């Protein structure tokens, strides 16, 4: 039965068992664990210490101003006002830009009365600039009607 071919179905049946029905080792069988039958291994991913890490210089303490800066920069990317990391143009994403600006507004509401005057002013200024930029970008991409 090994390597018999049924001419009507187009299928070939190959017996890959190592032992025959009487328990003796078959000479023509290839073991599953043999070197020939093993699939080739993919190289392991690099260890974390081998990965390239961008150096942003000395990283200072993370604070409220860093959070506001991070969210405002994200909104600016989403508005298409900043180029991508490689200098490529990032497409405008008004829906997510609006969400990011909304997050900053929520942050402003939830932290009211708990910020230093400098932090409150920073958040107010960032929100003002982002709102103006959003309106300008939205007008630029709005359908022209006459």
Tens of pLDDT, residues 42-63: 677 767 666 666 665 666 778 9
Residue range 107-130, pLDDT digits in tens: 999 999 999 999 999 999 999 999
* DSSP tag of 5: B
Confidence of residue 26 (pLDDT cuts 50, 70, 90): confident
Tokens representing residue 43 in the block: 């190289």
- CA distances 75 to 39, 49, 121, Å, are 47, 32, 18
Answer whether 90's CB lies under 8 Å from 82's CB.
yes
What torsion, rounded to 10 degrees, do the Cα atoms 130, 131, 136, 141 define? 90
Q: How many of the other CB atoms lie within 10 Å of CB of 79? A: 23
Sorted by sequence, the CB contacts under 8 Å of residue 79 that are 6+ apart come out as 92, 94, 97, 130, 133, 134, 137
What local confidence, expressed as pLDDT, does residue 115 receive?
94
Regarding pTM above 0.85, the answer is no
Answer whether 123's CB lies under 8 Å from 76's CB.
no
Answer whether 91's CB lies under 8 Å from 113's CB.
no
């Amino acid at each position: 039965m090994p390597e018999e071919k049924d001419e009507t179905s187009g299928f070939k049946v190959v017996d890959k068992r190592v032992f025959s029905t009487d328990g003796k080792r078959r000479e023509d069988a290839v073991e599953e664990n043999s070197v020939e039958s093993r699939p080739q291994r993919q190289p392991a991913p690099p260890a974390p210490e081998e990965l390239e890490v961008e150096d942003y210089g000395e990283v200072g303490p993370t604070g409220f101003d860093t959070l506001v800066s991070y969210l405002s920069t994200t909104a600016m990317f989403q508005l298409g006002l900043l180029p991508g990391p490689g200098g490529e143009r990032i497409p405008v994403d008004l829906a997510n830009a609006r969400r990011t600006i909304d997050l900053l507004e929520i942050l402003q509401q939830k932290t009211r009365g708990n910020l230093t005057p400098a932090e409150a002013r920073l958040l107010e200024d960032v929100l003002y600039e982002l709102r103006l930029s959003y309106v300008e970008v939205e007008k630029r991409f709005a359908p022209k009607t006459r």
